[in-house]
Chains A and B, each alone.
Chain A
């Protein structure tokens, strides 16, 4: 009987450790970096409200990047953007490993949008998360730091040379 009570208590405390919460909106500083959390205009997933988390200091959050060099540039095609998707996923899973069971149970998702420069370096990453979530702003901060240090994209063709910012929409990460 004692074992059952102990196991029940343990199970309850483990699940409540990573309870789903809503990430509060506004600008917040985490590990020395400023992140902005904004409610999405569009619902995420099955009718759930969501937030977008992004680097508050990125200059093109609310301002369009400089115009392309040519007057009618050909849009970037996904086939010409080569991103290390496996590395991106392994970084996300590595940081969230300690919450993985809860994330899976709740079928949570994470969407990443990369804003890359012509060298393939991520200058900003936007994270879209349905609310409430088990993912915290601290988790996002750790993921963001690793991504910017470790992830690089490459490009083929010459279209990318027209643009100061190249967007890459990472396939949805479903836990």
Chain B
């Protein structure tokens, strides 16, 4: 911040790190505490789909083939859907307020680690 009102920030660190941790540990921490059973289940299905049922990390290629570009766009759309649900969880003290922000830290990380997490 350079004078004036505080900057809203440039990261949705709470949600982004929860998604990363849940991809690694097959868990649902983003929705476990403050979400309904249905929200937890929907989120787990998404994480399971992203990781081929917790066996491999995805690769995102925004400049790849049309199919890879579509997969990337679908990922961002669903990520933002769950981000908005996360923001709206009643009683959740953790906030990731920048709906629509591309999770670049998460994408950079999973694009640069071994597929099988070894």
B33: chain A residues within 8 A (beta carbon): 68, 73, 75, 163
CB of A113 within 8 Å of the partner chain = yes
**Interface residue B105 (Cβ < 8 Å from any Cβ of A):** no
A72 within 8 A of B: yes
Query: B48-60 CB contact bits vs A (8 Å, 1 = yes)?
Result: 1100011000000
Of B44, B78, B93, which is within 8 A of A113 by CB?
A: B44
B5-38 vs A, CB cutoff 8 Å, 1 = contact: the mask equals 0000000000000000000011111001111111
Find chain B residues with CB under 8 A from A109 CB.
53
A71 lies within 8 A of B93 (CB): yes
- Say yes or no for B90: interface residue by CB 8 A criterion: yes
A-B contact count (CB 8 A): 82
A50 contacts chain B at the CB level, 8 A cutoff: yes
Per DSSP, chain A at the interface is loop
By the criterion of a CB under 8 Å from any partner CB, how many residues of chain B are at the interface?
A: 27
Tell me the complex Cα distance, A54–B46, Å.
18
> When A113-B41, A126-B41, A171-B26 are in contact, do A64 and B49 touch as well, CB less than 8 Å?
no
Q: Is B110 an interface position by the 8 A CB rule?
A: no
Cβ of B36 and Cβ of A63 under 8 Å apart? yes
State which of A38, A58, A75, A111 has its C-beta within 8 Å of the C-beta of B48: A111
- Tell me which of B26, B36, B42, B90 contacts A78 (CB under 8 A): B26
Question: Which of B26, B32, B37, B48 meets A54, CB within 8 Å?
Answer: B37
A138 CA / B39 CA spacing, docked (Å): 25
Residue of A nearest to B45 (CB): A42
- Interface size (A, Cβ < 8 Å)? 37
Q: Across the interface, which residues of B come within 8 angstroms of A75, CB to CB?
A: 27, 29, 32-33
Q: When chains A and B are docked, how far (Å) is the Cα of A49 from the Cα of B7?
A: 42
Contact of B89 with A by CB under 8 A: yes
A44 adjacent to B91 (CB under 8 Å): no
B98 at the interface (CB under 8 A from A): no
A48-74 vs B: 1/0 string, CB under 8 Å?
Answer: 001010100010111110011001110
B67-88 vs A, CB cutoff 8 Å, 1 = contact: the mask equals 0000000000010000000000
B41 lies within 8 A of A52 (CB): yes
Q: B38 contacts A62, CB within 8 Å? A: yes
CB pair B54–A61 under 8 Å, yes or no, is no
Known: A42-B78, A126-B41, A167-B28. Contact between A61 and B36, CB under 8 A?
yes
Other A-B pairs, 16, CB within 8 Å; known A113-B37, A172-B54: A40-B42, A42-B45, A42-B78, A44-B49, A52-B41, A61-B37, A61-B38, A64-B34, A75-B27, A78-B25, A109-B53, A113-B41, A126-B37, A128-B41, A128-B45, A165-B37
